[in-house]
């Protein structure tokens, strides 16, 4: 079991350091790898991920808001599942930086699909909810980007995809 865990960890580190060359994104993902491990969530960085240094108009605080909130939400969505899985994908080929987070949680209820990026809308129980995705949406808009929200037709769960133009507006 320890050897298998070590092999998975080495594979993830290889992707993280050999294919993702932006140290800000590396740092965020390292923190999230640790958090997922603590919560016993299977977190993978897609092996097709590839990223050079991000353009200077994309600030660290914006990355933390986008990547951090999406991953935290995905971790929370799968936390009580027996085989909770979250995957992260990032690529910068072409004119955009594309970030995608997929989980195998319960997904977004169809009734909330059009409003999930609005303030104080949450599919989770409890007070003081519904701020993370609106913050993500605000940052994406600041960067003249676009966000798509879908449910995974095969595994259930949510798919959040962000497109950020490499050229600042």
pLDDT digits (tens, 9 = 90+) for 91-107: 999 999 999 999 999 99
Mean pLDDT to the nearest integer, 140-157? 91
Range name among 16-20, 116-120, 153-157 with the lowest pLDDT average: 116-120
> For position 169, what pLDDT does the model report?
61
pLDDT for the residue numbered 122: 47
Looking at every residue in the chain, the average pLDDT score rounds to 88
Please check whether residue 40 is in contact with residue 121, taking contact to mean a CB–CB distance below 8 angstroms: no
- Per-residue confidence at 25, pLDDT binned at 50, 70, 90? very high
159 has pLDDT over 80: yes
pLDDT band at 126 (very low <50, low <70, confident <90, very high): very low
Tell me: pLDDT of 121 over 90.
Answer: no
Supply the pLDDT for residue 89: 98
Tokens at 30, concatenated: 């390292």
pLDDT (average), residues 46-53 = 96
Q: Is 144 left (phi over 0), alpha (psi -120 to 50) or beta?
A: left
Residue 156: partners with Cβ closer than 8 Å, 6 or more residues away: 104, 105, 106, 107
What is the predicted pLDDT for the residue at 119? 63
Token pair belonging to 143: 């960067």
d(CA 30, CA 53): 17
Conformation bin of residue 96: beta by default, left when phi > 0, alpha when psi is -120 to 50: beta
17-21, 22-26, 115-119: least confident range: 115-119
């Amino acid at each position: 079991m320890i050897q298998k865990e070590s092999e998975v960890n080495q594979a993830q580190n290889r992707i993280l350091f050999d294919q993702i060359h932006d140290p800000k994104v590396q740092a965020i993902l390292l923190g999230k790898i640790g958090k997922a491990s603590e919560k016993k969530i299977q977190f993978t960085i897609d092996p097709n991920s590839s990223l050079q240094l991000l353009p200077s108009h994309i600030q660290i605080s914006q990355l933390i808001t986008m990547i951090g909130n999406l991953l935290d939400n995905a971790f929370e969505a799968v936390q009580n599942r027996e085989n909770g899985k979250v995957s992260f994908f990032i690529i910068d080929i072409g004119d955009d930086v594309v970030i995608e987070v997929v989980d195998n949680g319960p997904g977004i209820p169809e009734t909330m699909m059009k409003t999930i990026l609005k303030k104080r809308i949450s599919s989770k129980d409890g007070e003081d909810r519904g701020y993370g995705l609106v913050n993500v949406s605000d940052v994406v808009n600041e960067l003249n980007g676009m966000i798509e929200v879908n449910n995974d037709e095969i595994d259930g769960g949510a798919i959040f995809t962000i497109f950020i133009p490499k050229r600042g507006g």
